[in-house]
A = this chain, B = another copy of it.
Amino acid sequence: MDEPRWLDDAEFRAWIGYRRMRLLLDAQISRDLMRESGLSDPDYDVLSALTSTKEHRWRLTKLADRMLWSKSRLSRHISRMEQRGLVTREECESDGRGAEIVLTEGGLRAIEAAAPDHVESVRRHFIDLLTEEQIEVLGTVAETVLAHLPDPQE
């Protein structure tokens, strides 16, 4: 059996740094979002995806695919958000089985109120700390890594 190719110092620093950043940065930004807007990270993601269509509505499965969530996860989360008045379910005209998830007035107000603070939080803890060049490299790194992974849509 070949000796494993262990990580060298620079590689280890990048990998462990990424893991720790992932843990702490996301926790911080989630905390900010919850404190300032009363929305969880998943709440924000759902609202954000819904506002990205003109109709502010989306079939459950399509939305789950786009968000890379399981259908059951989304279904359960939508139920919770429905109780809080952020979204509603409507019967789908063209498919009797289907539900369409629709953004409510309250949901729209919620994300419009949350967005500025959220961007500010992302800037404060992440973007504004980096140089243009670092941001450029980061974007490229993410694209490279994602291009290499199997496409989860398929």
B-binding residues in A (CB < 8 A): 4-7, 10-11, 13-15, 17-18, 20-26, 28, 68, 115-116, 119-120, 122-123, 125-127, 129-130, 132-146, 148-150, 152
Interface pair A126/B145, CB less than 8 Å apart: yes
Q: Are A4 and B145 in contact (CB under 8 A)?
A: no
Main secondary structure of the interface of A (DSSP, over half): helix
Chain B residue contacts of A145, Cβ below 8 A:
21, 25, 125-126, 129-130
Residue of B nearest to A67 (CB): B23
A54, chain B: closest CB distance, angstroms:
20
List residues of chain B with CB within 8 A of the CB of A129. Answer: 144-145, 148
B122 touches A7 (CB 8 A): yes
Partner of A18, one of B5, B115, B138, B144: B138
| A148 CB to nearest B CB, Å | 6
Partner of A144, one of B5, B10, B26, B130: B130
Q: How far is the CB of A139 from chain B (nearest CB, A)?
A: 4
For residue A133, which residue of chain B has the nearest CB?
B137
Chain B residue at minimum C-beta to C-beta distance from A13: B139
A59 to chain B, nearest CB (A): 21
> Given that A24-B149, A24-B152, A145-B21 are known contacts, is A122 also in contact with B68, CB under 8 Å in the complex?
no
Query: Please, could you name 5 A-B residue pairs with CB atoms under 8 Å apart, sorted by A?
Result: A4-B119, A18-B142, A25-B146, A28-B150, A130-B141
Complex Cα distance, B7 from A120, in Å, reads 9
B residues within 8 A CB of A116? Answer: 4
